[in-house]
Amino acid sequence: MLILMGLNAPRKDVEKVKEKIVSKQCTPHEIPGSLKLAIGITGPSGNLTIEEFLGMDSVDEVIRISKPYKLVGREMKPEDTVIDFGNASIGGDELTIIAGPCSVESKDQIFEIAGALNELGIKFLRAGAYKPRSSPYSFQGLKEKGVEYLAEVKKEFGMKIVTEAKDTQTLPLIAEVADIVQIGARNMQNFSLLEEVGKIKNPILLKRGLAAKMEDLLMSAEYILSQGNYNVILCERGIRTFETHTRNTLDLNIVPVIKKHSHLPIIVDPSHGVGIWDKVTPMAMAAVACGAHGLMIEVHSHPEKALSDGYQSLTIKNFKSLLENIEKIASVVNKRMNYAELHVDK
Ligand code: PEP
Ligand code: MN
């Protein structure tokens, strides 16, 4: 259920509405909007009637939400969510580029790559310290050391760090350094982890599960919002299909569909989506063309030596050329590139 009140509704009227919601064992969520003050309600809404709210001071409208997802849906919040990072934002008309290696492998490696990306003006550095790998014998990440190097790189270059929280135990450590906490595809339905990241302040990048439908992805995001963290970025990263010519099948259909159903930003990770480096740029261009709010791209200074996902990683040189191609598409779809005034060599 959604209660709409005038933007200038006196605070005491708003509080009374919220108290009533709580008294019915439900949770109120104040949703910022430019036209109305909206209070979303989650919980056992069978306890509530439209009439009891309609009679309250300053309440203009009461709407029942028909979709199974509530807080993430456009019914609850028609306006796009834009997440502010000071010198960047995600979800508006900026096109966000998140780039970096799959994993932090050593101090030298992360400094070399971050330095090169920083030179290009990239503001968001991705790199995993805790890696969820299909095989227990594959490189599992540098763990605490990796987080330490990310903290150092952040201090050195001032880049914003995007890194994965693999479980609830290591989440507090990750949350200290991460500007965006990544929840990986394999954890998209780890509901206890989703609830925990719902309780922290960091924006969350939620990757689509390997076999998750659009509704599953939105319901997982709902777990996070329902705990009070409204800053969630969705990420399409390819799904499993019968097709094996690429690592996964990048489902770009989901971009316009999500934008219709949800106000949350959606970005695309073509690196995991295709799994082969020379297919990354064309699919990144397609992602921008179909309206994605950003891209997450795996970049490595020496992909052939990478400890994870080298085969899908772009060299710095190829990444520069991706940026040049993306810039052309971005201007067609009226998006501004959000990396610092282009340093790309033309
Ligand atoms: C990653 O971003 O390196 C990663 C492990 O992604 P995913 O969870 O999408 O497989
Ligand atoms: Mn990877």
Q: Is the pLDDT of residue 272 over 70?
A: yes
Residue 344 has pLDDT above 60, yes or no: no
- Residues 258 and 166 occupy one common structural domain: yes
Q: Which of 133, 164, 271, 299 most suits a substitution to test ligand 1, by most atoms within 8 Å of the C-beta?
A: 164
Looking at the chain, how many residues does it have?
A: 346
54/101 same-domain check: no
Atom of ligand 1 nearest to the CA of 102: 3
Does 241 score more than 80 pLDDT? Answer: yes
pLDDT greater than 60 at residue 345 = no
Residue 81 has pLDDT above 50, yes or no: yes
pLDDT at 346 over 70: no
Average pLDDT of 218-240? 97
pLDDT digits (tens, 9 = 90+) for 179-217: 999 999 999 999 999 999 999 999 999 999 999 999 999
For residue 21, the CA-to-ligand 1 centroid distance in Å is 39
Q: Report yes or no on 78 lying in a domain.
A: no
The model's confidence at residue 338, banded by pLDDT at 50, 70 and 90, is confident
Number of structural domains, the chain?
2
Residue 230: inside a domain: yes
**Looking at the structure, do residues 112 and 171 belong to the same domain, yes or no?**
yes
- pLDDT tens digit sequence for 295-324: 999 999 999 999 999 999 999 999 999 999
Q: What percentage of the chain exceeds 90 in pLDDT?
A: 90
Residue 251 lies in a domain: yes
Domain span at residue 145 reads 83-337
Do 53 and 188 reside in the same domain of the chain? no
Q: Is 33 helix (H, G, I), strand (E, B) or coil?
A: coil
| pLDDT exceeds cutoff 80 at 287 | yes
Q: Does ligand 1 have an atom closer than 6 angstroms to the CB of 272?
A: yes
Task: Calculate how far, in angstroms, residue 16's C-alpha sits from the geometric centre of ligand 2.
Answer: 48
3-state secondary structure of 308: coil
- The CATH number that applies at residue 240 is 3.20.20.70
User: Same structural domain for residues 55 and 196?
Assistant: no
Residues 55 and 134 in one domain: no
Please check whether residue 69 lies inside any domain of the structure: no
Token look-up 């834009």 returns 82
- Tell me: do 38 and 180 sit in the same domain: no
Q: Is the CB of 185 under 6 A from ligand 1?
A: yes
Shared-domain flag, residues 7 and 97: no
String of b and e for 137-152 (b: at least 16 CB within 10 Å)? eeebbbeeebbbbbee
Average pLDDT, the chain: 95
Same domain? 42 vs 111? no
Work out which ligand 1 atom sits closest to the CA atom of 309: 3
Q: Do 163 and 38 fall within a single domain?
A: no
Do residues 30 and 127 both lie within one domain? Answer: no
- Which of 182, 190, 235, 250 for mutating ligand 1's site (highest number of atoms within 8 Å of CB)? 182
CA–CA separation, 306 vs 313, rounded Å?
A: 9
Between CA 136 and CA 237 the distance in angstroms is 22
Is the Cβ atom of 183 under 6 angstroms away from ligand 1? Answer: no
Taking CA atoms only, the protein residue closest to ligand 1 atom 5 is 184
pLDDT at 278: 97
Query: Nearest bound ligand to CA 133?
Result: 1
